[in-house]
Amino acid sequence: MAMTNSNNNKKFSFSFLVIAMNVFNSTLAGRPTYNVLSYGAKGDGGTDSTNAFLSAWAATCNSTKPSTMYVPQGKFLLRNVAFWGQTCKNTAIKVQIDGTLVAPSNYNVIGNTGCWIKFSRVNGVSISGGILDGRGTNLWACKTSGKSCPGGATTLGIYNSKNVEINKLTSLNSQLFHVIVYGSQNVRVQGVKITASGTSPNTDGIHIQGSSYVTVSSTKIATGDDCVSIGPGSTNLWIENVVCGPGHGISIGSLGWDKQEPGVQNVTVTTSTFIGTTNGLRVKTWARESNGFVKDVLFQHAVMKKVQNPILIDQNYCPHGSCPHQGSSVRISGINFLDVHGTSATQVAIKIDCSKNVPCSGIKLQDVNLEFKSEAVPSASAQALCSNAGGTSSGYMQPRGCL
Ligand SMILES: *[C@@H]1O[C@H](CO)[C@@H](O)[C@H](O)[C@H]1NC(C)=O
Ligand SMILES: *[C@@H]1O[C@H](CO)[C@@H](O)[C@H](O)[C@H]1NC(C)=O
């Protein structure tokens, strides 16, 4: 259907368009558009629309021209669903969401499936707009109570894919991680908003693993675990303009769980703000034997507001005593902290705690200004602690550098 802009036809075209969008698939500017309503989806919040979404995806993916899968306003109930891309006939697919996708209210339905909404082996897909509501609160309560509960599902997963964009969408109350990028290349996450309670368990904002050329920008994350977490095998990442809090900060790790593990290399985290988080910029490795490594990391232009561990390298990470050798052999080198300022909520504002077996090298602290104020001990000031770390401190340093 072609849309006309002439004044006479405007009103007619507009209402016709609305009807067309609701009833038929349509073509906007020559772009085939597949509306989930045409495949039986109902935006009533209660009807299971999973199969309708899968049929709309099949048609969108089957288009030989750039195509759009369209989700209009309304609340669409989805079970766990995987959108596979290996047979798609074009590499410019848009998934435009104007409505809200809601997970089943009973967390058991998707709680053991790993991922709620999964894109797998796609190439050239942009996912825009909309709200993904994982309805995780009951599962968090179950986990917090110590009862036995399902592990939970990640809200949105991009697996083994390339050339993917996630734009301006909102993820609410995921059961587990909000977004995972796994085994993928060239993924851009921008203008995304992630919200869950600061006490919700394992609700990482964006987890990147085994992936390269992943960019996260202009994103606001408030959650119960890491705002961004970077797992083994991640290279060439760019993270810019993230506001994090509540949450556990931006973390590389935990690395070194496995003896054989791909490393993390070339990560930039720039121009980000941390508000009341339990960590700021962190590298953590399990105190276990591993051939993993981290190198060439630039953490710069960060603002800390009452952050508990603004600058942290922790190679002695080992909750639950699961570290037989009690020493990490993950090699950490070339980690740069430049222009980090604001307030620390703990006296130790800088902690570089490296492994005895394999000390850190090339750690650089430059222009760090972190203030600590204690009402109990007004004379206390911020401290830096370093162990088994080589490198340099330069520029303005408060607390004084420990390298
Ligand atoms: C895919 O498109 C072909 C024609 O190009 C058609 O024959 C086939 O039925 C379509 N499959 C689906 C799932 O739409
Ligand atoms: C590091 O990653 C960035 C993308 O984040 C890329 O532009 C740059 O070329 C990479 N540098 C090297 C040395 O590979």
State residue 195's pLDDT score.
98
The model's confidence at residue 8, banded by pLDDT at 50, 70 and 90, is: very low
Please tell me the CATH superfamily of domain 1-225, with its number: Single-stranded right-handed beta-helix, Pectin lyase-like (2.160.20.10)
Q: Is 248 annotated in the active site?
A: yes
State residue 226's pLDDT score.
98
State residue 22's pLDDT score.
43
- Is the pLDDT assigned to residue 20 strictly greater than 70? no
Structure tokens at 133: 């509501």
Report the share of the chain in percent with pLDDT over 70.
92
The model's confidence at residue 295, banded by pLDDT at 50, 70 and 90, is: very high
Mean pLDDT along residues 16-43: 72
Of the listed ligands, the closest to the CA of 84 is 1
More confident residue, 98 or 321: 98
Mean pLDDT along residues 168-179: 98
More confident residue, 37 or 288: 37
* Residue 398: how many other CB atoms lie within 10 Å: 17
- The atom number, within ligand 2, closest to the CA of 237 reads 5
The model's confidence at residue 319, banded by pLDDT at 50, 70 and 90, is: confident
Say yes or no: CB of residue 385 within 6 Å of ligand 1: no
Lowest mean pLDDT among 26-35, 45-54, 71-80: 26-35
The model's confidence at residue 318, banded by pLDDT at 50, 70 and 90, is: confident
Q: Which of 240, 254, 200 is nearest to 223 (CA)?
A: 200
State residue 111's pLDDT score.
98
- Is the pLDDT assigned to residue 3 strictly greater than 80? no
Cross-strand partners of 394: 366
- The atom number, within ligand 1, closest to the CA of 59 reads 14
Mean pLDDT along residues 180-207: 98
341 SS3 class = strand
Report the share of the chain in percent with pLDDT over 90.
86
State residue 325's pLDDT score.
65
Cβ proximity of 140 and 102 under 8 Å? no
Q: Which residue, by CA, sits nearest to atom 3 of ligand 1?
A: 62
The model's confidence at residue 359, banded by pLDDT at 50, 70 and 90, is: very high
The model's confidence at residue 19, banded by pLDDT at 50, 70 and 90, is: very low
The model's confidence at residue 26, banded by pLDDT at 50, 70 and 90, is: low
Full-model pTM = 0.92
State residue 1's pLDDT score.
35
Domain boundaries in the chain? 1-225, 230-403
| CA atoms 316, 322, 325, 331: torsion sign | negative
DSSP 19-39: HHHHHS-EEETTEEEEEGGGG
State residue 25's pLDDT score.
60
DSSP 64-103: SS-EEEEE-SSEEE--SEEEE-TT-S-S-EEEEE-SEEE-
Cα distance between residue 35 and residue 18, in whole Å? 12
- The atom number, within ligand 1, closest to the CA of 55 reads 13
Cα distance between residue 386 and residue 247, in whole Å? 25
Fill in the DSSP letter of residue 222.
E
Cα distance between residue 83 and residue 170, in whole Å? 19
For domain 230-403, give its CATH number from 2.60.120.10, 3.30.450.20, 3.40.50.300, 2.160.20.10: 2.160.20.10
Q: Point out the catalytic residue in the list 178, 207, 248, 341.
A: 248
- Judged by phi (left if over 0) then psi (alpha if -120 to 50, else beta), residue 7 lies in alpha
The 10s digit of each residue's pLDDT in 128-172 is 999 999 999 999 999 999 999 999 999 999 999 999 999 999 999
Q: Is 378 exposed, middle or buried (0-12, 13-18, 19+ CB in 10 A)?
A: exposed
Q: What is the mean pLDDT of the chain?
A: 93
Cα distance between residue 195 and residue 123, in whole Å? 28
The 10s digit of each residue's pLDDT in 120-129 is 999 999 999 9
Say yes or no: CB of residue 266 within 6 Å of ligand 2: yes
Cα distance between residue 125 and residue 96, in whole Å? 10
